[in-house]
Amino acid sequence: MVSKKIRDFLIFAKRDGYDWAWADTCCIDKTSSAELTEAINSMFRYYSLAHICYVFLNDVEESQPGAPTFGASFRRSRWHTRGWTLQELLAPREVVFLSRILKQATGIPKAVLRSDKGITDVSIAARMSWASKRKTTRIEDEAYCLFGRFGVSMPTLYGEGRKAFYRLQEEIMKTSLDLSLFAWGGLRQDRPRSTRARADPYLGKLS
């Protein structure tokens, strides 16, 4: 049975004129390690090739964008603290929800959220720091969810624990001379790329 979340997603896509839609929750066979590895290594590209990405914030109260309580509820959303959702924010050409307070909620500069500056134009330290307060269910996913942001592909080995992050750093070092890779711990995000936002009456659209 298709969940209400997926049904609503398909309704939005159909409303906007799309014939095809993709959702990781039902389009990846997680029982196949080969398919899972391929999907994890390709996910950032999937999002970057999408015409639009719909973000459902199920823990944000149902008030209109702009209402006094909406901003606080939006900032508290778990979506801003999950590791995997960062690529959903940065990779697509257009993201459906509200962007006005995204900078405050995510710590990512407006220039990045508006696509005024490319992700690869931002230091590795800044890109790492965007994920520093985000959480994942599996320890390894702290590294795996960052593949696309750094243009890295590598095998997924669930069970390796923190070694996944060390392998990620090694892969980044193979293609970059940016030594800020090792100095991102407490960095402030004052460098910028982006996602655009236009207003949707239901969720709000990044234009």
* Positions of the chain with pLDDT under 50: 98-99, 186-207
Q: Is residue 37 a part of any domain in this protein?
A: yes
Residue 90 amino acid letter:
L
Residue 26 amino acid letter:
C
Q: Is residue 76 a part of any domain in this protein?
A: yes
pLDDT at position 206: 38
Q: What residues make up the domain containing 125?
A: 32-182
Q: Which two tokens stand for residue 201?
A: 């009456």
pLDDT at position 94: 84
Ramachandran region, residue 135 (left: φ > 0; alpha: ψ -120 to 50; beta: rest): beta
Q: Is residue 77 a part of any domain in this protein?
A: yes
Q: Is residue 87 a part of any domain in this protein?
A: yes
pLDDT at position 52: 87
pLDDT at position 203: 38
Q: Is residue 74 a part of any domain in this protein?
A: yes
Number of domains in the chain: 1
Q: Which two tokens stand for residue 113?
A: 């959220």
pLDDT at position 104: 66
Q: Is residue 203 a part of any domain in this protein?
A: no
Q: Is residue 79 a part of any domain in this protein?
A: yes
Q: Is residue 194 a part of any domain in this protein?
A: no
CA 60 to chain centre: 18
pLDDT at position 201: 34
pLDDT at position 190: 39
pLDDT at position 159: 94
